[in-house]
Amino acid sequence: MLRVRVSAVPDKGKANAAVVALLAKALGVPKSAVSVVSGETARMKTLDVVGDGAALALAVNALDSAPSSSRHPRA
């Protein structure tokens, strides 16, 4: 589980778009490769990321081991 915080307001999908953009940037994939599959109106969301599984796993592990200051970028 990844915890993400964005400053966009949850109005008309702006916060979801910010989460998608932030995660795509962090994982090094295009925004079109990330989609919300459940929880569009909830605080807890399930996202789908399309790409090379091994590369994505490395990117997620790198996020998990990043220093605290870089682990919480704001979108």
Q: Please list, in sequence order, all residues whose beta carbon lies within 8 angstroms of the beta carbon of residue 45, skipping any fewer than 6 positions away.
A: 16, 19, 36, 38, 39
Which residues is 46 bridged to in the sheet? 38
Flag whether pLDDT at 60 surpasses 60: yes
The DSSP letter of residue 32 is G
- Segments making up each domain of the chain, as ranges: 14-71
The per-residue pLDDT for 69 is 54
Tens-place pLDDT, residues 26-56 = 999 999 999 999 999 998 999 999 999 999 9
Is residue 73 scored above 60 in pLDDT? no
